[in-house]
Structure 1
């Protein structure tokens, strides 16, 4: 009789615990994947890789506005605008919102996709790659691989980045040494990836 008397309260308590666990799980999932606002202005340094280019250093400011979220696998996605004070890109102002998907090594390609008016009736899809983006968890520390734009003899426009003497930005920083330290820290997983130059690359 004693067992029967306490069976119902025990069942109610068990159901309550299960419901509480479900609520906690849902809350944790929401907190893990929810969108976070980004609105930062970072003063840093534009610099060029290679010891022979150590004097090619300029102060620069980047403003990053938008939001980021995280997938079930822990991969981040940023959607918003990235504006450098002294850098222009051949993308219409109204099309400069970009979606950057970071891979497991923190690498996020910056590619703008937009429509270009060819004539009064026709438009063509266009794309422009401006480099890659690495960011700390709060986006207060960043490093960029900045593409260099070139035009072919046929008039075609393209861009590229050279690991030997490519253009970089990192901040917050006031010197090339500080910028290099930030870039190597944020890009550590990418640079030590065995698939990338056997994982022994170091920016200098």
Structure 2
């Protein structure tokens, strides 16, 4: 995990494992995904696409934006402002950001919120959107026919289940279980529904 840029020392890493174990124990017998399984899945997604850790994007959005955009550009993916796709966003009000595969008009593209250094909330929105859409960009490169539900699941787990999120809720294992099974899985289903309407 040190390579991923996570600012968590070895003691915190151990406590991350303890937190996951406690969350699993508290949810024993519940129908749903164990938090430790969700975490392993999330980390497998991050490694699979060579993504930087995104958990610090709230505290240091400029750094995450720089890392994510650099990685996307290295792989031939353009990062553009949402205003360039205003027609798409007007026609699809449920869409927050966009990944568009390559076509005759442009290379693979990610369209996200624009922000300058002083716009803290817009920077955080841009970083958050990049965390999700970068997964879709790499899916398109490596697995262009991935089913929508699998694609959204990978993107939401990478974006939403971070080490910082787990550590900050270490005393609330029920919240972590709900985060995985209600919030993240709910976002997956909602996004698949929106994608089906768009397509």
TM-score band w.r.t. shorter chain: 0.3 to 0.5
Q: Which of the pair has more CA radius of gyration?
A: 1
Higher-RCO chain (CA-CA 8 Å, sequence separation at least 6): 2
**Greater fraction helix:** 2
**Greater fraction strand:** 1
